[in-house]
Structure 1
Amino acid sequence: MKKNYTIVAILLLFAGTIHAQKNQIKAAEKEVNNGNPQDALIILKSIEFQVYNAKDEDKALYYFVQGNALVGLADKNIDESKNLILALQSYQELAKVESESGKSNYYGQVKGSSRSLKEKLVKNAISDSKKNKYIESANMYYEAYLLDKKDTINLYSAATAFVNGKDFISALKHYETLKAIDYSGTGTFYYAVNKTTKTEERFLKAYDRDHLINDGTYEKPRNEIGLSKRGLIYKNIALIYFQNGDNEKAKNAISDARKKNPEDNSLALAEAELSLVSKDYVSYKKLVTALSQKNPNDLDVIFNLGVLSTKANNTVDAENFYLKAIGIDPKDIKSYINLSILKLESVKVINDDMDKLGTSPIEMKKYDMLKTKKEEIYKSVIPYLKKAIEIDPKDTEISQNLLSVYNALDMTAEYKDLKDRAVY
């Protein structure tokens, strides 16, 4: 009989512990609702190890409150990126508990606010990227993708950020996933500005965007046509393999992609760039010639051939491709800018040569010749920069470049006029 009393006493003690847990979770929930997420997390931390043995319903409530508390901290700009990821992990635990128990009491509420959470993640990913915090940015994008796997552009952005952060192993993993789902990045993307946050958000469907605009919560709608990103994906896969010394895998990655997508010019450009990187100049020249002949009026192809030629130090070819691109579209600002950069880069070489010269009559004569050549280059750049400013007068970097050219040529009147008109 004594043994039975002991068992009953233990069960009563255990029941009391469970009841106390639930009360503490409820107390934490109250703190969240009162705007005190930090206090809520302190309460939850005190029962963290007891939760594993709790009822499924209490476990679910624990993770629900924990996730909401972490979102509350993020909303207060406290370790925003870190706490958003931790919140998502809590919600994932919540989903797991409710899925295994067959009861759904809280995850439905989380799922209903997933769009808001996803946009917060993307916003932070963009912000981290601008601060050169590429790995943090990549993790944000990836969590946003896990929250909504239909929005595959976030997986692509995660892979790109990992490349920028030089985490090539993670980048390759995500690129391989993109390859497996045959992601191209083409299609129409729909954007609008959230009136509350004043930030632009992306929508998968025009209907979803337009519905919110009609509600009056969003404004300034715009559409954007996404160009194929297959070439960049396969190129980066190949370059990572190439960097790891696996040249065969690198070549196969591009070759297989081209066989599956023979009309995708981005892949042909990627193959040409890989040939350039691997110093296979014969293949490079062959691919560039074929691309330019096949797509003589394709602006994107011609412009990118200009970029490739610049990387190959083929400045004459690069200039011709940019001029051809301008012929196709006289408002192609990228070509005007790249042309000016291409020419201004050559000035650096001339300056280096001038600095090496002495003061002998022969050297002074050579100095004057180089100075004249430099001035001619500066003068040749002016029309391109002026046209670029005409197309986009708000681009301060272009204006600064032209001001520098005017200053180098002692064109005081032109310098003052542009300085007065420049938009800053």
Structure 2
Amino acid sequence: MKIKYLFVASSLMLSAASFAQKDEMKALKKLYAKDQLSTEDMSSYKANVNKLTSMTGLSESDLVYTNFYKAMLPVLELNDAMAKNPNDLQAVTKNLSAAKINAMASGLNEVLAFEKKSGKEVYTSDIKETIQSFKPMMLQYAYALNDGGKEVEAAKIFDAVYKLDSKDQVNLYNASVLAMNAKDYDYALTLLEELKNVKYTGEGTNYLAINKTSKKEELFPDKNQRDLFVKSGTHEKPRDEKIASKKGEIYKNYALILVEKGKVEEAKKAVAEARQQDPNDTGLIMTEANLYYQTKDMESYKRLIGEALAKKPNDADLLFNLGVVSGNAGDVESAKKYYEKAISIDPKYFNAYNNLGLLLIADDQKIVSEMNSLGMSTKDAKKYDELKAKRQKMLTQAIPYFEKALDLQPANEGVKNLLLGAYQFLEMDAKYKALKAK
């Protein structure tokens, strides 16, 4: 009798817990369906989430939807804050942290997988709509962090947004670039490994046009939207810009981190495996060449450069990349030759003109520093004149390339400032005034 009594009591307790779960679930479903939650509604929502989260023995369905309601809390709180004050940046910072976006990604993707498996869609459409609605704000926040010099924080937001919507792999790539820039190599390595696993290349096309009001070139999500703005008269000078594969860059960064960690053989193995999958990818050939340069194997480096050129002797992008690699290797003459060849193939290659100009003034800061350090002695005066003449010659050689680059991208402030500085030093007053007035 005693055992039987305990068994019945236990059953009653489970039944009571089950009813409690249903009550909380019903309450949350009702609250979630509202267009706008009041302060009282928000308190009730949180209380029910906390009750369900603390319960044990939840069914798979209840556990999934408990996590869903919990994952949606930052969105609901942000929505509430923005409704009260659209400019509440503190609410954005608080609710769109990497940790909260990651939790949201986990909860929402769990529901998507569960509903796909069960064949019964309850929140699938709502989740997809939520992601598309809030993702631009999340990305805007990531860009703002980056502009503020917080590269690692921005990388973590991009990474979290990728986890929220893994189809948009460019966010994972952006995260890896920022982690590399911040020299957070352990984090960058994790991101690069994921890029390799998903076989990201980044190939595509940028659709650009100049805003007639701001005079700045703007990027559009697709050709149709760009053409509509041009047709409406707000934009002009549309152009398409091919986005080259980033596969080589991804493997290059991956290999460089491994070399930094002293894992040279692992780096060589990773690039060799990538080349086996795609032996004709010149980006990967360049990556392998760069790796051998890093390990001071110049014979292999030159062999691979030759191999890349043999495959695509008239590829402007390849020649440009060869210029970059040669410049990094300190081979200025070869770099100059490759940039000039790229320009001869594509006379509108902005980056080739710009890089060639930068290559020619690579010693500018060093010369300026040396000039500023000199004293007033006769010897120092003579040295100053020598350095001044050297700088004049250097800037004179670089100016035509920067001028052509600015013709191609008139809104480029970096090139404009370089030219203004050069004109001023060379006392080219007419050109200085004309450019300054633009």
State the TM-score, normalized to the length of structure 2: 0.76
Q: 1:10 to 1:313 in 2, by over 3 A?
A: closer
Q: Give, in whole Å, the separation in 2 of the partners of 1:190 and 1:121.
A: 23
Q: 1:188 to 1:363 in 2, by over 3 A?
A: closer
Q: 1:389 to 1:191 in 2, by over 3 A?
A: closer
Aligned match of 2:320: 303
Q: Give, in whole Å, the separation in 2 of the partners of 1:27 and 1:93.
A: 21
Q: 1:358 to 1:305 in 2, by over 3 A?
A: same
Aligned match of 2:351: 334
Taking the TM superposition and a 5 Å limit, the aligned residue runs for 1:344-423 are: 344-355=361-372, 357=374, 359-421=376-438
Moved more, 241-250 or 357-366: 357-366
Q: Secondary structure at the match of 1:138?
A: helix
Which amino acid counterpart does residue 259 of structure 2 have in structure 1? Answer: F
Moved more, 379-388 or 352-361: 352-361
Q: Which string of whole-angstrom CA distances, capped at 9 and with x for unpartnered residues, describes residues 287-337 of structure 1?
A: 334444553321111111221122122222222222222222222111222
Contact 2:21 2:52 in 1 (8 A): no
Aligned match of 2:51: 47
Q: Give, in whole Å, the separation in 2 of the partners of 1:190 and 1:379.
A: 35
Q: Give, in whole Å, the separation in 1 of the partners of 2:256 and 2:30.
A: 54
Q: Give, in whole Å, the separation in 2 of the partners of 1:308 and 1:409.
A: 31
Q: Give, in whole Å, the separation in 1 of the partners of 2:22 and 2:398.
A: 78
Taking the TM superposition and a 5 Å limit, the aligned residue runs for 1:1-400 are: 14=17, 17-18=20-21, 21-22=24-25, 25=28, 28-29=31-32, 33-34=36-37, 39=43, 42-44=46-48, 46-53=50-57, 59=63, 62-75=66-79, 76=82, 77=89, 78=91, 79-82=94-97, 83-95=100-112, 104-187=121-204, 202=221, 225-292=242-309, 294-355=311-372, 357=374, 359-400=376-417
Q: 1:280 to 1:133 in 2, by over 3 A?
A: same
Q: Give, in whole Å, the separation in 2 of the partners of 1:201 and 1:73.
A: 31
Contact 2:49 2:69 in 1 (8 A): no
Mark the runs of 5 or more structure 2 residues left unpaired by the alignment. 83-88, 210-217, 229-233
Q: Secondary structure at the match of 2:96?
A: helix
CA RMSD of aligned residues (A): 3.9
Q: Secondary structure at the match of 1:351?
A: helix
Q: Give, in whole Å, the separation in 2 of the partners of 1:408 and 1:239.
A: 39
Q: Secondary structure at the match of 1:345?
A: coil
Which amino acid counterpart does residue 423 of structure 2 have in structure 1? Answer: Y
Q: Which string of whole-angstrom CA distances, capped at 9 and with x for unpartnered residues, describes residues 79-101 of structure 1?
A: 24224433333324545665787
Contact 2:206 2:240 in 1 (8 A): yes
Number of aligned residue pairs: 405
Q: 1:417 to 1:40 in 2, by over 3 A?
A: farther
Give the C-alpha shift of residue 71 in structure 1: 1.3
Q: Secondary structure at the match of 1:228?
A: coil
Contact 1:35 1:72 in 2 (8 A): no
Give the C-alpha shift of residue 22 in structure 1: 4.4
Mark the runs of 5 or more structure 1 residues left unpaired by the alignment. 193-198, 214-218
Q: Give, in whole Å, the separation in 2 of the partners of 1:375 and 1:246.
A: 45
Contact 1:275 1:283 in 2 (8 A): yes
Give the C-alpha shift of residue 11 in structure 1: 7.0
Q: Give, in whole Å, the separation in 2 of the partners of 1:92 and 1:396.
A: 43
Percent identity over paired residues: 32
Which amino acid counterpart does residue 183 of structure 2 have in structure 1? Answer: K
Contact 2:109 2:164 in 1 (8 A): no
Q: Which string of whole-angstrom CA distances, capped at 9 and with x for unpartnered residues, describes residues 45-76 of structure 1?
A: 54254444456665555444434432133443
Which amino acid counterpart does residue 81 of structure 1 have in structure 2? Answer: L
Aligned match of 1:216: none
Q: Give, in whole Å, the separation in 2 of the partners of 1:40 and 1:313.
A: 66
Q: Give, in whole Å, the separation in 1 of the partners of 2:166 and 2:431.
A: 54
Which amino acid counterpart does residue 307 of structure 1 have in structure 2? Answer: V
Moved more, 342-351 or 352-361: 352-361
Q: Give, in whole Å, the separation in 1 of the partners of 2:208 and 2:76.
A: 27
Q: Give, in whole Å, the separation in 2 of the partners of 1:399 and 1:144.
A: 35
Q: Which string of whole-angstrom CA distances, capped at 9 and with x for unpartnered residues, describes residues 191-243 of structure 1?
A: 99xxxxxx97757xx8xx88xx8xxxxx9998664322221122122112211
Q: Give, in whole Å, the separation in 2 of the partners of 1:280 and 1:318.
A: 19
